[in-house]
Copies of this chain bind each other. A is one copy, B any other.
Amino acid sequence: MKTYFITLLIPIFIGCQPPQASRQDIRFVDISHEPSSSTSDIVLGSIAKQHQSDGKKLIDVAMSDTAGFLRLGEMCETFGPRISGSENLENAIDWILLEMEKDGLENVHGEHVMVPKWVRGNESAQMIAPWKKDMAMLGLGGSIGTPPSGITAEVMVVGSFDELTERANEAKGKIVLFNVPFTNYGKTVQYRSRGAVAAAEVGALASIIRSVGPFSMNTPHTGNSHYKDGVEKIPHAAITVEDAAMIGRMAARGQMVKIKLQMEGHYEDDSPSRNVVAEIKGSVYPDEVIVMGGHIDSWDVGQGAMDDGGGCVAAWQAVKLMKDLGLRPKRTVRVVLWTNEENGLRGGNAYRDAHKASLDNHILAIESDAGVFKPSGFGFSGTDDALAILQDIGTLLTPIESGIITKGGGGADIGPIMREGVPGMGLRVEGSKYFWYHHTNADTWDKLDQDEFNRCVATMAVMAYVVADMDERLPREKTK
């Protein structure tokens, strides 16, 4: 996920967190939710009341499901990470399309999108003075490579863009290290995004950043980065929080640190990919569409399990469970798994362009791209009238504590159609761990939890289904 992040998920570290130790072996099943008994105590909205029975069915079937979570694991581990332009991604898409057909979903197809193809190649970073250390590193998405013999230079450590500006005359011929501790994603990611430009502007040979994450076990984070016309392109990479902090302290102690960087990052020709589409056609208003999904591409590390395989499979499973229950809403529910969110947003843009004529009939767009952790509800961008209706529907989700609908939210992939007037919402989830794993080799299925995943499925299923099935059409701004 990317653009919409700040409004969706400011990581909050409060209170008591369960130890993570056993997650990698044991799947916890939380049996504390008791939708059957507790629903009776909950005050339902008027729309919710009309869909109480279907809502309960969806929650019950989602919360006892095992297939969706296993399917996510199978996808993650059978195809690996799914960067745009990779065989892994297209193999995963082929498999998803076949599986969706098997599920009996309707109108299953891929929609052609040309995507950029950035290839990492081999890469390494070594501290060569004052002592030798092979450092864990990841080149940042879009970075150019170094010359084959690498770039070896003294490191200049700065703690901010301002410090780089103040000490600009020291940067020439050096490798600039942005040793910026994680505060929140929106702030800290600026160094990943713009660091290479800032370093090149003052004459640096290369730019490295402290990985954008609050906690590390020698775990570098990749992610997209940018160059600027007229400014020389220099290699741009992330080292771990540990190494960046260490080099920062070494420099503060007066030690001269030298690094050798070797990278082969480069772009190849754009490559064909697809947005994945599948539906349950509406029984009364088939042309009115609730679109729901995540992005199927990922970075080229880990398994893209949280970002965003989980969001994709949760949306898919939500629709599959409607199908299994024989629930056909009045309007069409469409799953879309967008391609190329991470380094181009070509999928989201292509969807907007391909469906331009029908965007007026896109009733609501729902995206999950903050990890499939325990959900609390949705952040919604649309009219107050629409918000009130969604809050009414949200009362159906009170038994699983995921019915809070607040103002503001969306998602990177649905951004293009939201900007055309489609009301949009993003699933909100517990956010304390997401940035531990984000864009790393540790974004793997074993970190996830079946119960939390199922809550996401239930939450998306109920919301999409009721908006699709309610008598009234979700209102939106008139003029667009």
Contacts and interface: CB of A to CB of B under 8 A. Distances in A.
Interface of A: 11, 13, 15-25, 73-74, 77-80, 88, 130-133, 136, 181-182, 214-219, 241-242, 245-246, 249-250, 253, 255, 302-303, 432, 436-437, 440-442, 444-446
A404 B131 CA distance: 41
A19 to B, nearest CB: 4
Contact of A19 (B23, B73, B303, B432): B432
Contacts of A437: 217
B214 A217 contact: no
Given A215-B21, A444-B242, A16 B16 contact: yes
Contacts of A17: 16-19
A246 B74 contact: no
Contacts of A20: 215
A253 B182 CA distance: 39
A132 B441 CA distance: 14
Contacts of A444: 218, 242, 246
Contacts of A250: 77-78
Nearest to A241: B24
Contact of A79 (B24, B131, B216, B245): B131
A20 B217 CA distance: 11
Contact of A245 (B21, B25, B242): B25
B217 A255 contact: no
A9 B253 CA distance: 35
Contacts of A74: 253
A25 B446 CA distance: 27
Contacts of A214: 21-22, 24
Given A136-B441, A249-B77, A181 B25 contact: yes
Contacts of A22: 13, 214
A131 B88 contact: yes
Contact of A242 (B21, B80, B216, B446): B446
Nearest to A255: B78
A133 B80 contact: yes
A258 to B, nearest CB: 14
Contact of A24 (B21, B133, B181): B181
Copies of this chain present: 2
Given A80-B131, A218-B219, A219-B219, A21 B25 contact: no
Contact of A73 (B88, B218, B249): B249
Contacts of A15: 16
A218 B136 CA distance: 11
B136 A216 contact: no
B215 A24 contact: yes
A130 to B, nearest CB: 7
Contacts of A216: 24, 217, 442
Contacts of A131: 78-80, 88
Contacts of A181: 24-25
A209 to B, nearest CB: 15
Contact of A246 (B77, B249, B432, B440): B77
Given A77-B249, A77-B250, A78-B253, 9 more contacts: A15-B16, A24-B181, A24-B216, A77-B253, A78-B250, A136-B136, A217-B442, A218-B441, A242-B444
A436 B218 CA distance: 11
Contacts of A18: 17
A137 to B, nearest CB: 12
A446 B79 contact: no
Given A77-B250, A245-B446, A217 B21 contact: no
A241 B73 CA distance: 15
Nearest to A135: B441
A77 B15 CA distance: 32
A130 B79 CA distance: 8
B436 A217 contact: yes
A133 B79 CA distance: 11
A151 to B, nearest CB: 20
Contact of A217 (B13, B77, B217, B445): B217
A302 B246 CA distance: 11
The 10 closest A-B pairs by CB, nearest first: A16-B16, A218-B441, A217-B442, A217-B217, A21-B214, A13-B19, A80-B131, A217-B219, A25-B181, A218-B442
A241 B20 CA distance: 13
